[in-house]
Structure 1
Amino acid sequence: MDILNNSKPLKAVLVGVQLPRVSDEETQGSLAELSRLVTTLGYQVVGQTSQKRSSTKSATVLGDGKMKELASWTGGTGVVGPMVVKKKHKAALRFEKNQEEDDFEIEEDFEDVPEESEDLSLDSASEVPREKAQVVIFDCDLSPSQLRNLESATGAQVLDRTGVIIEIFSRHARTKAARLQVEIARLTYVAPRLRETAGGEDRGGGGIGGKGAGETSIELDRRKIRDRIKELKQELSAISQEHITRRSRRNQEISVALVGYTNAGKSSLMRALTGSEVLVADKLFATLDTTVRVLYPESRPKILISDTVGFIKKLPHDLVASFKSTLDEAANASLLLYVVDSSDPTFRSQLQVTKSVLDEVGASDLDSILVLNKVDRLSSEEREKLQQEYPDAIFLSAHNKEDVANLRLRLIKHFETAMIDEEILIPYDVQGAIGEIRAKMRVLSENYDNRGLTLTVRGHVQDIEKMRKKFGI
């Protein structure tokens, strides 16, 4: 994918494949999302096309007519050329050279007769594109052979949706864990798509005595990739162990995980709830690393808020697997906040995608609250309809301080429903109990007398029992 590193903005044409039982709206919505992904990479989208197909298993995915139409965007032939060129013996090459020289001497005696050119004109109903594209991007996964066939027919670089998403992830990964996770997914994606370079030769004879075929260059490259993936997984395993250790320390604390589709406003809400400097950007997958901060103003007991990686339709399975350690933050949360962009007409399907991915990591059965974000972009009629459809949801704008304050109170109230109120008498000679109680429980009242300090606290039953046992009170 070296073309992705080109500093010059490249022009891209998008291709959608509409399968049976997929509506026109879903196809166009998916293409619109792909356009945002491609724009995030810095490409300029100059056009798009789609075709209804029974499957994506054919050699070029598209039909012959649509292939020629696509080739008109890139200047290709629209026809798949030969993929394999057989090596010839030196004697055969000398014979062909001599034959060509003899044919040239004979042709000098004849007039040049122009060959009939192949008709590659578009259907009369199609328009010839004004701008040529250097990249063709399909809104589906392509096999290695399909990629080769399409590049041969279009004469352009061809990418699929998975390749685009992995490239975006690799650009946005900042922490060591995220970089390792993305690199594993990228190498897993690249390995089967390696192609033999021109002039690739066997690496000498194999076996004892030099008999047998040696390793080809592509086989050697794939072996190197497998070895590298193994190394990366070992590094990631060590880092994941550190994350598990940190997470175990926080297991006794209340935690809320913000989950949802990419660009739904999770990071903006995270910043508003915690007052922390979390990266906020209006682009897809701006956040890949889990960030954990304390709810501000701090409550008692304190509540931890974690921002997680965003999801998207057709999220590559390798990325889900690689980011499992990151998604475990959501799986171990006390509460999930499903954050959706209420102004996006497709947010219902986006919510379903989020739930499907969380189901893969075993986090779908946790307590959850639906947060409809960006309500400031809705009309009063749209908001009223959504309130009727989702009566238990929280409607807010992450930029509205009053909305964020109400969400904070809702979170505190949610966790307090599982707490009890109890009086605890702390004698004056008991040291350290007051500080620990204030850190883990909410103090409702306090009263001093000759016996000591009596606190009325609100907390979890298990925390109160541990406190009594630890300090003998």
Structure 2
Amino acid sequence: MREQHQLRDDSPERSILARLILPEQVVEADPLEELYGLATTAGTEVVDELMQRLTRPNHGTFLGKGKVEELRLMVERHDADVVIFDNDLNPAQVRNLEKAIDAKVIDRTELILDIFAAGARTYEARLAIELAQLEYSLPRLKRMWTHLSRQAMGVGMRGPGEKQLEVDRRLAQKRIHDLKEELSKVERRREQQVQARKEAPTVSLVGYTNAGKSTLMNALTAADVHAADKLFATLDTRTRRWQLPGWGTVLLSDTVGFIRDLPHSLVASFKSTLEETRQADLLLHVADASSPTVFEQISAVYRVLEELEIEEKDTLLVLNKIDAIKSSAVLNRVLDRYPNAIPVSAKSNTGLVPLIEAVGEALGREFFDLEVDVAPSDGKLLAYLAAKGEVLSRKYGEEMVTIHVRVPAGAMGPVHRDAVAIRYMDERLGKTNDNQSAEDEKSSISIDLPSVPLSDSSSEVA
């Protein structure tokens, strides 16, 4: 008997993009450009687009009656599999649209969750994605059976006469509870791991997705981490050692990219993955200077940082991809608004020297330049200074060892406690002759400098 083979269609899903624009929304030059990038990243083939302006969404179908019919004809003409909205829809609107156009309908949040699910590699990233998907899906659970037959009572599982849909909801809620507990454990472990690496300053790359953060990390550290010209190429935090001139070892972290209207459930789920950013001494906010929506992207990143409660960290704005800018007027327009920004091209290694100097200067704001007198017998403090600071020189006397060292502000406690004498070499603090006067001088002067004025996981260290 001849073996029968089932034909399988490996062609990508054909998608139609749709967006409803409301009066209060700021519209980009190409309103569907970002959704197009998300749709292609998800693996679909975009075959058509549809937009409508309304004062408010239609309660039942989101779009107006005429546009729904136009969308149905588009689906029929292109034999489309899915319609992707650049808006968030409620469950009833999705059901009504699917019935009206005879095609699958997904909204912006579901698309982003699908992309994250496909790209998650580490255990904690998969946990975060599953949690976000369940929280999104819980109010959207659909009855997958044609019957609603009542089931027999199970011990400890359901009440008498409970329907299948109610069982599904209960199981989903139980899984959400378990995932939150597991992610809480992961978050505590990650926090401990990050704090354990405080022997070196930490710098974290943040920014809009596809702004070139991974490419910049490769340029600065020769790390050879995966970098691709697509949205959300990086979902897990990667940390690499960076030999910063004049500083020695600095830990540089690359994190998941942000995006406009990033789902709140996703931000909450990824808090453990972003622990490197929360604990960093300095943020490098990487923006795509060649993007026509660069201002909106910068603002979107700061909104997410605010949601994560880390927007007040010392930050340097890095304008990447200047090699892709055709006119200097385009770059000048961005620099006029952000005069402290640093233009670079990670792809061609342009502008990296000024960036490195700016990072060193910014990190210096968190360090003290000291001369410390230590008793020769105090090997513990001598070892502590060597481990926590950058020893610039040592002078050995008969009764004292004098060490010129740069020490992180957070590591000053044992120095004040055990040193025989401390002299601050930093001109902002002036020289002092003993511990008490050093304390008095330090307490009267604030050394915290403001952040750059802007208007608006695998974390294994290699």
Normalising by structure 2, we get a TM-score of: 0.81
Does 1:22 find its partner at 2:30?
Answer: no
Tell me: CA distance 1:55–1:461, structure 2 relative to 1, closer, same or farther (3 Å).
closer
Q: Which whole-Å deviations, capped at 9, do the CAs of 1:68-107 have from their partners, x for residues lacking one?
A: 11111222xxxxxxxxxxxxxxxxxxxxxxxxxxxxxxxx
Structure 1 position 299, deviation (Å): 5.5
Structure 2: distance between partners of 1:133 and 1:372: 39
- 1:305 is aligned to 252
- CA deviations over 1:400-438 (Å, ceiling 9, x no partner): 446223322221121223433322345655546555434
Determine if contact 1:202/1:213 at 8 Å carries over to the other structure. no
Give the residue type in structure 1 aligned to 2:287. V
Residues 1:389 and 2:390 aligned together: no
The structure-2 alpha-carbon separation of the partners of 1:278 and 1:358, relative to structure 1 and needing over 3 Å to count, comes to: same
Change (3 A) 1:67 1:227: same
- CA contact 1:274–1:294 (8 Å) conserved in 2: yes
For residue 301 of structure 1, report the CA deviation from its aligned partner: 6.5
Aligned to 2:55: 54
Distance 2:73 2:160 in 1: 43
* 1:260–1:351 Cα contact (<8 Å) kept: yes
Report the more deviating stretch, 321-330 or 438-447: 438-447
Q: How much has 1:227 moved relative to structure 2?
A: 1.4
1:10 counterpart (10, 13, 35)? 13
Give, in whole Å, the separation in 2 of the partners of 1:464 and 1:204.
66
> Contact 1:18–1:52 (CA<8 Å) still a contact in 2?
yes
Task: Name the counterpart of 2:195.
Answer: 248
Q: Which moved more, 1:390-399 or 1:455-464?
A: 455-464
What amino acid is aligned across from residue 25 of structure 2 in structure 1?
A: V
The corresponding residue for 1:443 is 391
- 1:463 aligned to 2:411? yes
Structure of larger gyration radius: 1
Q: For residues 388 and 20 of structure 1, what CA distance do their matches in structure 2 show?
A: 29
Of residues 282, 287, 293, the one that matches 2:240 is: 293
Question: For 1:32 and 1:235, how far apart are their aligned partners in 2?
Answer: 37
Any conservation in 2 of the 1:295–1:305 contact (CA below 8 Å)?
yes
Greater share of residues in helix: 1
* TM-score using structure 1 length: 0.79
**CA distance in 2 between partners of 1:460 and 1:205 (Å):** 65
Aligned to 2:456: none
The answer for the alignment partner of 2:362 in structure 1 is 414
Check conservation: 2:204, 2:253, Cα contact below 8 A: yes
Identity of aligned residues (%): 40
Superposed CA deviations along residues 37-90 of structure 1, whole A, max 9, x for unmatched, are: 000011110110111112224211112211111111222xxxxxxxxxxxxxxx
| Aligned: 1:335 with 2:282 | yes
Which residue of structure 2 lines up, in the alignment, with residue 284 of structure 1? Answer: 231
Counterpart secondary structure, 1:147? helix
Deviation at 1:244, TM superposition (A): 1.9
Q: Which amino acid aligns with 2:99?
A: S
Count of matched residue positions in the alignment of Structure 1 and Structure 2? 410
Contact 2:259–2:297 (CA under 8 A) maintained in structure 1: yes
Q: Residue type of the partner of 1:403?
A: G
| 1:274 and 1:297 in contact (8 A); partners too | no
Q: 1:204 to 1:273 in 2, by over 3 A?
A: same
Q: CA deviation at 1:195?
A: 1.6
Could you give the per-residue CA deviations for residues 364-408 of structure 1, whole angstroms, max 9, x where no partner exists?
112111111111112333233333332211111113446223322
Distance 2:245 2:169 in 1: 52
Do 2:132 and 2:266's aligned partners in 1 also have CA atoms closer than 8 Å? yes
Query: 2 CA distance for matches of 1:73 and 1:8?
Result: 19
- Are residues 137 and 255 of structure 1, via their aligned partners in 2, closer, same or farther at CA, if it must alter by over 3 Å? same
Q: Please, which runs of 5 or more residues in structure 2 have no aligned partner?
A: 1-7, 422-462
2-structure distance, mates of 1:251, 1:427: 26
CA shift at 1:143, angstroms? 1.2
* 1:350 Cα offset (Å): 0.8
Separation in structure 2 between the aligned mates of residue 70 and residue 161 of structure 1, nearest angstrom: 17
The Cα of 1:292 is off from its aligned counterpart by 2.2
Q: Which residue matches 2:96?
A: 149
Tell me by how many angstroms 1:163 deviates: 0.7
Q: Distance in 2 between matches of 1:297 and 1:253?
A: 11
2:217 is equivalent to residue 260 of structure 1? no
Inter-partner Cα distance in structure 1 for 2:244 and 2:39: 39
Which amino acid counterpart does residue 73 of structure 2 have in structure 1? S
Query: Relative to 1, partners in 2 of residues 1:72 and 1:244: Cα closer, same or farther, differing over 3 Å?
Result: same
**Are residues 1:65 and 2:13 paired?**
no
Equivalence for 1:183: 130
Relative distance call for 1:462 and 1:67 in structure 2 (3 A) is closer
The letter of the residue matching 1:195 is K
Shift of 1:349: 0.6
Measured in 1, the distance between the counterparts of 2:185 and 2:274 equals 17
Output the CA distance in 2 between the equivalents of 1:331 and 1:423.
31
Partner of 1:326, secondary structure, is: coil
Aligned to 1:41: 42
Shift of 1:460: 3.9
SS at match of 1:14: strand
SS at match of 2:46: strand
Contact 1:302 1:440 in 2 (8 A): no
- The CA deviation at 1:442 is 2.7
Separation in 1, partners of 2:244, 2:217? 13
**1:399/1:455 CA distance change after superposition, 3 Å:** farther
